[in-house]
């Protein structure tokens, strides 16, 4: 409420966050799982003296560094850019709560970068024992980064601490070790291993030509990590959903789209398991570039759906129990309802002093814009209010959270509800309009 709004017509800002975040997640999990597998396989090749096998992993490392360190870092910065604009108050709250955690994560991120480049560029220049240690240093740093970020994202969906209430103690560890932390850490570790396996399948199918023995060895060595990854992912997801707060569970149960997404996630993972177990492992030679890309895209679909469910289930909050989806702190609700929304905000109060001020537009932008498009686009209010009178719209506004648990409570006065209703009627889709 103390920040200006970021208006993106049609798509809305949360969809931009989702697009950037999903792309980053699909690469960042490979950075973790692929790093663990690279360290493991390089150590195995050195131990067994298999130079042909080690040569393949050198070629894979170049692909790995380009995709994870270069592209992954760009999309990681993109997430900060988008959340800072679309969810500034939530971003502020998370930084204040987890500044120590993010500082630790940045330390390990620097270790990741240094180790990744050293692992590739000094492949043939270091003693093999030292090279193996650098590989494990990267893998450990990448996994710890995942653990730290998971603690923060898990807190956003359920802030209840395992060992204490952060709201009462202000203790960083009480926020970090929340009830969702362990199951989500297990699920994301499993996802990293599974995705790492699939990226390796893609690279191996494209680069290993006329050497069935090498391809078979690479594929067969991926059996254990892929099975462990799948089991971790499944177990972690089930435990995580079971620990969702009541509002999140209700949001999933009552939303048809989220139920479809849940079915798509489960179906995609089941299909992926069948294709790997019954086709890839028995006959590694069948792993063509097209088939491996198909496997990867199925995994992408499953992960995209699961991330969508996680984000949607947080409603009406962006940070559980603290920041609502409309960028208003829970502690500010009573003041907004008593003294008015427009007078509470730094930007809205200044805007209302201008001669061309439109209170209804200001209320829409600050109270609705974070999730709803205006006249056309994602959850456009011009369509959601179709056929309703101003009085009906105003009454719904005053009781936003009553029929829909995913909506925040109305954070304004009755007069402001009427002003917002006036604006919504002005953009309302009329019968016969296209």
Is domain 330-427 annotated with CATH 1.10.760? Answer: yes
What is the C-alpha separation between 186 and 208, in angstroms, rounded? 32
SS3 105: helix
Instruction: Return the half-sphere exposure (C-beta side, CA atoms, 13 A cut-off) of residue 22.
Output: 19
pLDDT of residue 378: 83
pLDDT at 20: 86
pTM score, whole prediction? 0.91
Where b means 16+ CB within 10 Å and e means fewer, 395-418 reads: ebbbebeeebbbbbbbbbbeebbb
Query: Which of the four pLDDT bands, split at 50, 70 and 90, describes residue 197?
Result: very high
Looking at the chain, the whole-number percentage of residues with pLDDT higher than 70 is: 99
* Digit-coded pLDDT (tens) for 380-411: 899 988 889 999 999 999 999 887 888 899 99
Half-sphere exposure of 260 (CA within 13 A, CB side): 3
For the cut 80, the answer to whether the pLDDT of residue 259 exceeds it is: yes
The pLDDT score that the predictor gives to residue 432 is: 56
Is the pLDDT reported for residue 145 higher than 70?
yes
Mean pLDDT over 330-350 rounds to 89
Q: Is the pLDDT of residue 3 over 60?
A: yes
Sequence spans of domains, the chain: 13-318, 330-427
Where does the pLDDT of residue 9 fall: very low under 50, low under 70, confident under 90, or very high at 90 and above?
confident
Over residues 37-68, the pLDDT tens digits come to 999 999 999 999 999 999 999 999 999 999 99
The DSSP symbol for 429 reads: P
Dihedral of CA atoms 156, 162, 166, 172 in degrees, nearest 10, equals: -90
DSSP string covering 42-64: HHHHHHHT-HHHHHHHHHHHHHH
At 317, which helix (H) or strand (E)?
strand 317-319
pLDDT by residue (tens digit) across 111-135? 999 999 999 999 999 999 999 999 9
Mean pLDDT of 189-205: 96
Mind listing the pLDDT tens digit for each residue in 410-426?
999 999 999 999 999 99
Give, for 381, the enclosing helix (H) or strand (E): helix 381-384
Q: What percent of the chain is modeled with pLDDT above 90?
A: 64
27 contacts: CB under 8 Å, gap ≥ 6? 67, 68, 71, 72, 75
């Amino acid at each position: 409420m103390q920040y200006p709004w970021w208006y993106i017509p049609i798509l809305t800002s949360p969809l931009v966050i989702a697009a950037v975040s999903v792309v980053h997640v699909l690469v960042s999990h490979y950075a973790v799982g692929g790093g663990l597998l690279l360290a493991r396989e390089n150590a195995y090749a050195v131990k067994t003296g298999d130079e042909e096998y080690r040569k393949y992993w050198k070629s894979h490392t170049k692909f790995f560094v380009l995709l994870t360190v270069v592209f992954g870092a760009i999309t990681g910065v993109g997430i900060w850019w988008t959340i800072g604009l679309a969810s500034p108050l939530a971003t502020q709250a998370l930084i204040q709560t987890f500044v120590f955690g993010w500082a630790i994560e940045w330390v390990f991120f620097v270790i990741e970068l240094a180790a990744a480049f050293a692992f590739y560029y000094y492949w043939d220049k270091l003693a093999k024992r030292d090279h193996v240690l650098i590989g494990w240093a990267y893998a450990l740093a990448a996994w710890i980064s995942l653990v730290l970020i998971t603690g923060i994202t898990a807190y956003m969906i359920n802030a209840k601490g395992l060992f204490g209430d952060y709201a009462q103690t202000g203790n960083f560890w009480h926020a970090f070790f929340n009830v969702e932390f362990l199951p989500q850490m297990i699920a994301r570790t499993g996802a990293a291993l599974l995705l790492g396996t699939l990226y390796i399948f893609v690279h191996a199918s494209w680069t290993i030509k006329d050497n069935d023995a090498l391809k078979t060895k690479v594929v067969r060595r991926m059996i254990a990590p892929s099975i462990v990854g799948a089991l971790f992912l499944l177990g972690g997801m089930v435990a995580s959903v079971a620990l969702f707060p009541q509002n999140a569970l209700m949001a999933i149960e009552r939303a048809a789209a989220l139920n479809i997404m849940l079915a798509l996630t489960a179906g995609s993972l089941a299909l992926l398991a069948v294709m790997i177990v019954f086709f890839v492992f028995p006959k590694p030679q069948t792993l063509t570039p097209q088939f491996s890309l198909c496997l990867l895209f199925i995994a992408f679909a499953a992960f995209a759906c699961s991330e969508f469910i996680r984000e949607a289930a947080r409603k009406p909050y962006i940070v559980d129990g603290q920041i609502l989806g409309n960028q208003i702190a829970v502690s500010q609700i009573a003041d907004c309802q008593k003294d008015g929304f427009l007078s509470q905000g730094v930007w809205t109060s200044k805007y209302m002093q201008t001669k061309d001020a439109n209170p209804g537009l200001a209320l829409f932008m600050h109270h609705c814009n974070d999730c709803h498009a205006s006249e056309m686009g994602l959850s456009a209010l011009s369509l959601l209010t179709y056929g309703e009178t101003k009085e009906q719209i105003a009454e719904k506004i005053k009781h936003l959270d009553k029929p829909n648990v995913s909506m925040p409570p109305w954070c304004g006065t009755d007069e402001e509800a009427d002003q917002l209703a006036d604006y919504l009627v002005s953009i309302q889709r009329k019968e016969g309009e296209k």
